Amino acid sequence: MPLAAVLWDLDGVLADTGELHYRAWQEACDEEKIPFDRDLFARTFGRNNAGALEVVLGHVPEEGFLRRFVERKEGLFRARAAGTVRPIPGVEGWLRAFRDRGLKQAVASSGPPENLEAVLGSLGFLPYFDAVVSGAELPGKPQPHVFLRAAELLGVPPASCLVVEDAVVGVRAARAAGMKVVAVATTHPAEALGEAGRVLPGFGEAPGPEWFPGAP
């Protein structure tokens, strides 16, 4: 089926936010006296906050605590990100290339909507997208819901979508949605992303017309 849309993850794909998220997680966990380190952080990457906190705690968090913790952690993140967040090198060339070829584009991220608006607005990327979908209140990756919701909003069948991801759970979510997936090794080693149809070290030269056969 011809390619009609590109669905983008946010953190680690469009925006270089990994260290900002780590520091926010570390501070929020320190306040609650919850053990946290970079190994735990790596295991949470790509999940929504509910799924990530379950990994950190080792059990499903109580709803009230989850809401309070997430509000604090994301507030810390947005305060750190304000005016400092940077795009992943080379990604804007890809956004332009897909736009110029008439493909629809959407963000489909595990992050809360406030983060998506703040980061995309800071980067000046919002005009590239026809839809922005937060998976914060959906079943988290590796479940496919956030990608399927984005495809629905774009009016495009899943088989006509390409997902750009950096996390193992995101690659698995895209495959579960029945979508093509390209992974960029910005936050995970390439060998961990082997379930993707294609794994790239980063965003080099923007894809030309021959890159995805069947695209407009």
Sequence-distant (6+) residues with CB within 8 A of 108 are 7, 8, 9, 133, 135, 146, 147, 149, 150, 163
Smallest CA-to-CA distance from 173 within 215, 201, 141 is with 141
Q: Which residue has the tokens 């070829």?
A: 101
Smallest CA-to-CA distance from 88 within 128, 132, 42, 125 is with 125
Considering the candidates 11, 16, 30, 166, report the single residue annotated as catalytic: 11
Given a contact cutoff of 8 angstroms between Cβ atoms, the answer to whether 110 and 48 are in contact is yes
Note if 11 is an active site residue. yes
Q: In the sheet that 161-165 helps form, which strands lie side by side, from edge to edge?
A: 131-134, 104-109, 5-8, 161-165, 180-184, 198-200
The Cβ-side half-sphere exposure at 104, using a 13 Å CA radius, reads: 20
Q: What positions carry a catalytic annotation?
A: 9, 11
